[in-house]
């Protein structure tokens, strides 16, 4: 089973992540940030990943450290759970619409961090949640999961819809990239022989 448990403690946050990549989308979140929980839920359900995340951060300052550190810890858990990438597809992409909003996410489990993030949110906040933190979350995740990630919001004028399509498309794209490729079951999907 491709599973991992990672705990990351700093003076700003304490984050614990449990992940099962071959799960059913079962979740348990306790981050103190209901909107982020709603988005993490999209990753798990659309990625068919079981995910438990418990975070206690310095929310009296703002949500920045907590959101970024959840991204970092989730990235660490992902890279650990993925392992040597033998027999998986490596690349995945998904387009996800929600009413007027449409986003595309493309993933390469490349072993190198890289992100292109093209999103212009329709407003600065979703409820209490600062939309700038969505970039911080994915940057933290990308840096530690060591993946290449392209996120494009292609349309949308409702920031909640825009965000939701991004997280759903990320889950869907990740699911494809992590899937078994039966014709290449014992192969590492790279001419370098390692990823």
Task: Please report, as ranges, the residues that interact with Mn ion according to CB under 5 A.
Answer: 164
- Minimum gap (Å) between residue 98 Cβ and Mn ion: 8
- Which of residues 22 and 100 has its CB atom nearest to Mn ion in the complex? 100
CA angle 171, 32, 138 (to 5 degrees): 35
- Which of residues 50 and 164 has its CB atom nearest to Mn ion in the complex? 164
Instruction: Write the Ramachandran bin of 99: left for phi over 0, alpha for psi from -120 to 50, otherwise beta.
Output: left
3-class SS shares of the chain: helix, strand, coil, % to 5: 35, 30, 30
Question: Any bridge partners for residue 108, and if so which?
Answer: 91, 148
- Which of residues 42 and 76 has its CB atom nearest to Mn ion in the complex? 42
- Minimum gap (Å) between residue 60 Cβ and Mn ion: 26
Q: How far apart are CA 168 and CA 162, in angstroms?
A: 10
- Minimum gap (Å) between residue 35 Cβ and Mn ion: 9
- Which of residues 6 and 159 has its CB atom nearest to Mn ion in the complex? 159
- Which of residues 38 and 89 has its CB atom nearest to Mn ion in the complex? 38
Which of 34, 38, 36 lies closest to 131, judged by CA?
Answer: 36
- Minimum gap (Å) between residue 42 Cβ and Mn ion: 8
* Paired tokens of 156: 């949308």
- Minimum gap (Å) between residue 93 Cβ and Mn ion: 22
Q: How far apart are CA 183 and CA 111, in angstroms?
A: 22
Residue nearest to Mn ion (CB): 164
């Amino acid at each position: 089973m491709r599973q991992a448990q990672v705990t990351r403690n700093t003076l700003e946050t304490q984050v614990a992540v449990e992940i099962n990549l071959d799960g059913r989308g079962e979740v348990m979140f306790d981050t103190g940030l209901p909107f982020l929980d709603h988005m993490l839920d999209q990753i798990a359900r659309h990625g068919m990943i079981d995910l438990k995340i418990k975070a206690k951060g310095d929310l009296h300052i703002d949500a920045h450290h907590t959101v970024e550190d959840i991204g970092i810890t989730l990235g660490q858990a992902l890279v650990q759970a993925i392992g040597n990438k033998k027999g998986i597809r490596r690349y995945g992409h998904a387009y996800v619409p929600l009413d007027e909003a449409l986003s595309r996410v493309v993933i390469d489990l490349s072993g190198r961090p890289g992100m292109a993030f093209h999103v212009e949110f329709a407003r600065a906040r979703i409820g209490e949640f600062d939309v700038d933190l969505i970039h911080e979350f994915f940057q933290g995740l990308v840096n530690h999961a060591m993946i290449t990630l392209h996120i494009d919001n292609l349309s949308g004028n409702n920031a909640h819809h825009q965000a939701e399509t991004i997280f759903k498309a990320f889950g869907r794209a990740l699911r494809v990239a992590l899937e078994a490729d039966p014709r290449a079951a014992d192969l590492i999907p790279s001419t370098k022989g390692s990823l």
